[in-house]
Structure 1
Amino acid sequence: MNQSDIHLVDLPNEILLMILKRLDNINVLYSLMGTFDGQFDILLQDNIFTNTLNMISRSSTDNDDDDIYSIDDQILDRFCIDILPKIHHNVKHLILESMSMKRILLAGNYPNLTSLKLFNFGQNIALNYFTDKSIFQHIFKYQITELILENNDNYDYVGGRILSKEYNNNIYVSILSLFKNLQSLSIVGSFTSSYPPLSIVDLPSITFCSSILTKLCINVRSLDDCLYLLDGRLKQLTIFIVQIRYIYNDLSIIHNTDDLSNLKYFSLTCYNLTNAYDNRMIPLFRRMINLEKLTLYIRITDRHTFVDGTHLHKEILMHMLQLHTFIFYISTIIQINDLVHRLSNNDIQQTFKNIGYYQTSCTVSYCRRSSKAICHVFSLPFAFDRLEVIINRLPIIIFHHITYLTVFDMIQFKQEFFVLIAKACPLLKHFGIFNRMLLLRNFDKYKADYIQSYSIIQFSHLISLDMMVQDQYYIEQFLLDTKTHVPRLIELKLFYSHLKNVTKNFTRDATRHNCAHIKRLICYDTCDYPKKFDHYFPSLNIVSYPSST
């Protein structure tokens, strides 16, 4: 057979299956169904290929994630009619968008379905389908062992203590009540939303219990909620991934202090500052006597010394004899005076080398004006998507996962610093710049600061820019298209007076391009919109904050 005569259909079934699995594309699956005298029908019904189906409806998704594959409604309808009834018995894992969930689940019986992942999940889905009266009760109640929900509810909308209790009952409690065989539960937020966290502080001790759940990934309101989850109500829990909103230094509640001998992997993330690290966090870590992997993201304040390698080894790591993986980001803010010995980056780095942790980095900054110092220490490669309160310096490494960054200037940032940020954080989506410097009197001097030796700084993924600054130089730096390119910027937070000055009362062409796609403008002072304002921001949905915030 000549090489030119070989067709796709002539390949052995084993090779065709390898090709199809690499394509992993619902459109390809749909287009091949019913062709080549049924050969592909047989292949596409093969258990190996239809094991996992990822079907996200394009019309219902609204995100910028490149890794979310979507299909249009027409193909989805045909898929539910022509394909799913033929392969539903082979499907073990479903990845769905919540608005299309009903159509897809009604297209078959799915007797082998054990894993379900839902995007754009909300309270309405739980109220309609996560109940004992659900039309999918036969699937949810006894088959599903793994449930992953990307929550799209907005905490600001739900808000309030009473509604928060209702949310606990409607979402968290109802899930464990309905899914009787659930062994793994993950509830995470989408990138742009902050959904209501679990809070069981004031609820009965039998709330949110399971004798078979082994993995839990969840957001909770406070450390007390986390401690309640570890009081024995989840007896078989071996993997616990928790994001905590607040860690209070409150010892009034008495918690179970038994060893957590079943726990093998613990991950804790808290973005808000806490002063309870020594009193409450260290005792919790010491209970995890058989822990094998620890992931920690925490920001600490009101300590007398930095958290360094020596401290971590003495207070935590030496009590975890089975630990083999420690991934961390820890920042510490301390008070300083002229008598405090100033440690360098090398000093902090050496404390980690002394305990055998060589893949680490750190940065230390001192501010005499505020009498404070901040130290960031973290394992390499940097594993988190968030980095906060960087002051005038950043380690010269690539942060491949960072999408959220805040910087705070004590000395005015120059263009070189923003060049470094763009290179170090190539996937940056949310950027906050904060300062308390007095407004420069000679703004024209900086407005004319076009540094020709630099090319235009590219922030290709930046969607939100927060500039709570007194120095208009930063507004100029990011809005002037000869200095910075922000093609996806849709949210801008700043002082309206600065915006008005930099844009020359919204007539300046050089700043118009970087404002063209902004949908949300959040101002920290009073706004007085001119007549031509809408032409400068054609797709704007204005939100104004009073200066008191």
Structure 2
Amino acid sequence: MEHLSIKLDDLPDEILLIIFKKLDNFAILYSLIGVNKRLHKIAHDPDFTRHLTLFKHLKYASVSALPDSTLSRFCLQIVPEIHHKIKWLNVEPASMEHIFLAKNYPNLYGLGVYGIDVSSAISLFTVESKTTFIDGNDLKENIINHMSRLNTFTFSIRSLVDLRNQTELRSNEDIQHTFKNFKYNQIISYVDHFQEKQYSQCHIYSYPNKRKCWNNITNNFPGGLYKYVREVSLYDERPFEHEYFLRIGEAFPFMEELTINNKKPQMNKLHRESKSGNEDFSIIKYPHLTRVKFLAVHDDYVEQFLVDTTMCLPNNVFLAVCGQALERVTENFTRNTTRINCAKLRLVYLVGKYEITQQLKDYFPHTNVVRRLV
């Protein structure tokens, strides 16, 4: 760092500011405060102190807490110098308490909470048992009412509740009512009650939202535009129809990875097939898609993605699928309407016990087919 500071000292302040503004604010503060008087003063510039992200970004939606030693030094040595200048904080659950106990933030008006799961949310919002959803009342009582200057609050929280512990099933209207007079971003919510697995789910989030991953999206997903999302997973105990996949494409135009988990057959499939030429059904296009994973799925969804009259896959797609399901959908690797999309696959993982036959190889002449036992 001493060698670096000598080189930096050769540059005028104007050039240093241009360089530093292209770097992460946390890195600037952590690296420059205390080095020498000149760099220390530059690090205190409002451009570097007003908006801080105090976690590490991993792939897609994942976030990771800062190392304990890094966070401790920041909270003990740096926060006391700049706490009154901080106007926006992005944090993750594991380090929230440490950060907020370090000092008061009198000018904080924006808070982003990322990577929060159900157990963390329940702890954070002091819900004593998993018998109710986290809602607007919890956010107001446990966070917002304690931050008088807060005027922006971004979040995404999913609550799971055992159906057997519920005396009354809450509706989405009930949840939305708790956000009445909520003065921040638009708040979107949707509720699902899964009778087979005996649990309920409620997802509440601020909109617009910059999350890069959206998990367990059901038929009740209200839509919108999420241009930052790259990874999506779908789950429901009700079937996903063709129109649902169209809505997913509209909501996540830059989606790269898609995982599907649904064992229910499509109800409108026969109606779609009865239409001559399928003129009433738009072909689905996910132009940025690179990976598709079928977990526990009905054959209809494999067919939905491989038949060229319902889906137009981009080139070089990775596909993970049950070998038996692939055989059935391609009619033992002879079906013409699945050849075009199958030819676009770069890699196929055959999940489960399945022998790679010569007929399969001939059907995928330019695709790397790998058998994967699970």
Output the CA distance in 1 between the equivalents of 2:202 and 2:9.
Answer: 47
Rate the CA distance shift 1:351–1:448 in 2: closer, same or farther, 3 A: closer
Q: Kindly indicate whether the alpha-carbon contact (under 8 Å) linking 1:289 and 1:321 is maintained by their aligned counterparts in 2.
A: no
Find 1:236's aligned residue among 74, 78, 81: 78
Q: 1:467 aligns with which of 294, 314, 325?
A: 294
The one-letter code sitting in structure 2 at the alignment partner of 1:516 is: A
Look up the match of 2:347.
520
Partner of 2:118: 300
* Deviation at residue 350 of structure 1 after TM alignment: 1.7
Output aligned runs, 1:399-410, within 5 Å.
399-410=226-237
The Cα of 1:421 is off from its aligned counterpart by 1.5
Q: Counterparts of 1:140 and 1:465 in 2: how far apart (Å)?
A: 51
Kindly provide the CA deviation profile for residues 496-534 of structure 1, in whole angstroms up to 9, marking residues without a partner as x: 221122122323221121122222222321342222444
Alignment correspondent of 2:127: none
SS of 2:247's equivalent? helix
Asked if the contact 1:216/1:237 (under 8 Å) is kept, the reply is no
Q: Secondary structure at the match of 1:528?
A: coil
SS in 2 for 1:473: helix
Q: 1:266 to 1:216 in 2, by over 3 A?
A: closer
Give me the TM-score of the superposition, normalised by structure 1: 0.52
Q: Which of 46, 56, 68 is the equivalent residue of 1:219?
A: 56
The runs of 5 or more residues in structure 1 that have no matched partner are 1-129, 150-171, 184-209, 239-258, 270-276
Seen in structure 2, the aligned counterparts of structure 1 residues 233 and 286 have a Cα distance that, compared at 3 Å, is closer
**1:267 pairs with one of 54, 76, 90:** 90
Contact 1:327/1:379 (CA < 8 Å) preserved in 2?
yes
Report the TM-score, using the length of structure 2 for normalisation. 0.73
Deviation per CA, 1:428-473, whole angstroms, max 9, x where unpaired?
A: 2211111356xx7xx9x96895263212122222221111124111
CA, structure 1 residues 321+538, in 2 after alignment: closer, same or farther (shift >3 Å)? farther
Identity of aligned residues (%): 25
**CA apart distance, 1:342:** 1.6
Q: Counterpart of 1:317?
A: 144
Which of 494, 500, 509 matches 2:336?
Answer: 509
Pick one of 186, 197, 201 that aligns with 1:359: 186
- Looking at structure 2, the residues matched to 448 and 351 of structure 1 have their Cα atoms a distance apart, in angstroms, of 41
Task: Output one character per residue of 1:286-332: Cα deviation in whole Å (capped at 9) or x when no partner.
Answer: 53742332122323147332221110111112222332211221111
Please say if residues 89 and 111 of structure 2, whose CA atoms lie closer than 8 Å, have aligned partners that are also in contact: yes
SS at match of 1:465: strand
Structure 1 partner of 2:284: 457
Give the aligned length.
332
- Provide the alpha-carbon RMSD of the alignment: 4.1
> C-alpha separation between the residues in 2 aligned to 1:435 and 1:225?
37
- Structure 1 residue 262 displacement after superposition: 6.0
**Greater C-alpha radius of gyration:** 1
Task: Describe the superposition over 1:200-241 as per-residue Cα deviations: whole angstroms up to 9, x where unpaired.
Answer: xxxxxxxxxx99985566527997645543323463369xxx
In structure 1, what is the Cα distance between the partners aligned to 2:99 and 2:147?
A: 8
Give the alignment of 1:271-282 within 5 angstroms: none
Q: Distance in 2 between matches of 1:476 and 1:140?
A: 63
Q: Quote the offset at 1:482 in angstroms.
A: 0.7
- Structure with greater contact order relative to length (CA < 8 Å, sep ≥ 6): 2
| Matches of 1:346 and 1:141, distance apart in 2 | 62
Task: Give a deviation string over 1:176-212, Cα, whole Å, max 9, x none.
Answer: 59xx6898xxxxxxxxxxxxxxxxxxxxxxxxxx999
Q: Taking structure 1 as reference, are residues 131 and 467 closer, same or farther at Cα in structure 2, changes over 3 Å only?
A: farther
**Greater fraction helix:** 2
Q: Which aligned pairs between 1:345-424 and structure 2 lie closer than 5 A?
A: 345-357=172-184, 359-424=186-251
Partners of 1:482 and 1:339 in 2: CA distance: 44
3-state SS of paired residue (1:231): helix
Aligned-partner SS, 2:326: helix
Counterparts of 2:173 and 2:53 in 1: how far apart (Å)?
38
| Cα distance in 2, alignment partners of residues 282 and 306 from structure 1 | 21
Q: 1:426 aligns with which of 228, 231, 253?
A: 253
Alpha-carbon separation, structure 2, partners of 1:473 and 1:506: 16
